[in-house]
Amino acid sequence: MIFILSFKVSNNLIKFKELTNFSEKMISKKALFYSISTILGITTAQAQFEPQQVISTEVEAPYISIPFDIDNDGKLDVVTASNQDFKLRWFKNNDGAGNFETEAILNESPVFYLSIDFVDLDSDGDKDILFLENNPRNVVWLENIDGLGNFSTEQIIIAEQQDFITSVSVIDIDNDGDLDLMTSTTDTFTDKISWYENTNGLGNFGPEILLIENVMEIYPPVLKDIDNDGNIDILTAHENNGPAKLVWYKNETNGSFGPEQEIYQFDFLVSDQTSITYIQYVDVNTNGKKDIVITSHNDDTGTFVYWLDNLNNQGSFGLLQPLPNISSNQYRFFDLDNDEDIDVLLWNRYTNNFSWLENSDGEGNFTTERTITTNIDFPADATAGDIDGDGQLDVISASISDNKVAWYKNTGLGIEENYPLSFFLHPNPTTGKVKITSNQTVETIVVFNLLGQKIKTARQSNSIDLSSFESGIYFLQLKTETGKSQTHKIIKK
């Protein structure tokens, strides 16, 4: 069984090799950038990164770099953990410009974190910390006491048991408005997937309810709406009858899942020892449908990365297509150059290289590797988030051998063209509706959070309502009917 270190924010699984969400294919690639005035020249941009800015060298062997607003002040802080003293820490983003305070401890208990999730388990409006720990293998949560970065001591949800827990995810599986837990477990011979009901919405969970059983080497469930019906399905892989098989299970609602539906199986004669070691669900070719990216490993031929095209948003996918420039690295997907297709963030712990690949045509053809830094020793994790609040996704890293947690500013430089355009947003700050005045017709308004995740879209409108959003900083990407765009920062009070 292969374990994949991961973290998740809210209900979106963000593995240490991750993805972003986009909804429609662009006719031509137009760049986003941060607007500091209401009238300026629009630029298309290529992401470039400034030299490394060190957050800390005091954490022994850090192996996590999670951007998350721990103290709810609208600025992304950084969470990390040590592979020596095994404490969970965070560094406060002091001024929103990437200047960090010294560490504060979130959890003193010495454990190794296999996954970390920031979710509201007790339905009180703030994000708690849920994690799967090793030695012992427990599912544990820390209650967010005040929303200011203070958390309770460990509360064990699922204690070490005969079946070995390999993953934990959050999902409202019974559609009752609170977050339940889904786990994958293994024993000596077979694996299974189960769920635990949040019985009162306060973080108290019922007994195990079996969903899928008697499978070999099951991959931790990837929870996505495969058939576009509004229900979260299970995407996974197993090795029941030979080499790895990629499958999904339809959510029939209220905690019931349909039979296994095969997506792809490696051929036994040529790949009898093939395993699927990683699965991601991302829009590789920017056509509004999420594709599947997998990492496979064959005992004879090595490790490879492939993607399968989503044909119809109903669970049908195409054949394997290679992504050859990624296979030797760990990776996550982000739109690093703000052109509305996914790029690839890469790190290689053995060559000490931290880099990215541009999705050059928006259709999954990635350019040559571009180095971010080599000033890093045995990188264990890399991710992205807008650290300095300028609308560009910066990147964050944790490296074990040099005890370094660091970030790299995305300058968004590389000007290719200019054209005049003006937008005026008011009121800003706002408590709800934002009105847009422009010298051109507004075609779409897209709202992004500080992690670069698209969270709302409005079309053919000169306003958008943010009243349901939490207080904080957001970015409104405004597109005209001619395809030109600007991005403006908006503060929700």
Dump pLDDT digits (tens) for 314-333. Answer: 999 999 999 988 987 899 99
* 481 in a structural domain: yes
Helix (H, G, I), strand (E, B) or coil at 219: coil
The stretch 357-376 carries a mean pLDDT of 90
pLDDT given at position 454: 86
* 435 in a structural domain: yes
* 6 in a structural domain: no
Helix (H, G, I), strand (E, B) or coil at 383: strand
pLDDT given at position 298: 87
| Domain of 475, in residue numbers | 423-492
* 170 in a structural domain: no
* 459 in a structural domain: yes
Rounded Cα distance between 109 and 15, Å, is 23
pLDDT given at position 162: 65
CATH number of the domain that 467 lies in? Answer: 2.60.40.1930
Q: What is the pLDDT of residues 376-423, one digit of tens each?
A: 999 999 999 999 999 899 999 999 999 999 999 999 864 333 345 678
| Closest alpha carbon to 150 in 72, 45, 207 | 72
| Closest alpha carbon to 282 in 307, 312, 260 | 307
CB 87 within 8 A of CB 401: no
Rounded Cα distance between 140 and 155, Å, is 6
Confidence of residue 489 (pLDDT cuts 50, 70, 90): confident
* 57 in a structural domain: no
The per-type count for the chain, helices as H runs and strands as E runs, is 0, 38
Rounded Cα distance between 348 and 378, Å, is 8
User: What total number of domains does the chain contain?
Assistant: 1
CB 329 within 8 A of CB 347: yes
Sign of CA dihedral 429, 448, 9, 212: positive
Helix (H, G, I), strand (E, B) or coil at 337: coil
pLDDT given at position 413: 65
Rounded Cα distance between 297 and 385, Å, is 30
Beta strands 394-399 and 454-459 are unpaired
DSSP-assigned letter for residue 144: B
Q: What is the pLDDT of residues 243-252, one digit of tens each?
A: 899 999 999 9
* 478 in a structural domain: yes
Rounded Cα distance between 70 and 62, Å, is 18
* 99 in a structural domain: no
Rounded Cα distance between 352 and 180, Å, is 39
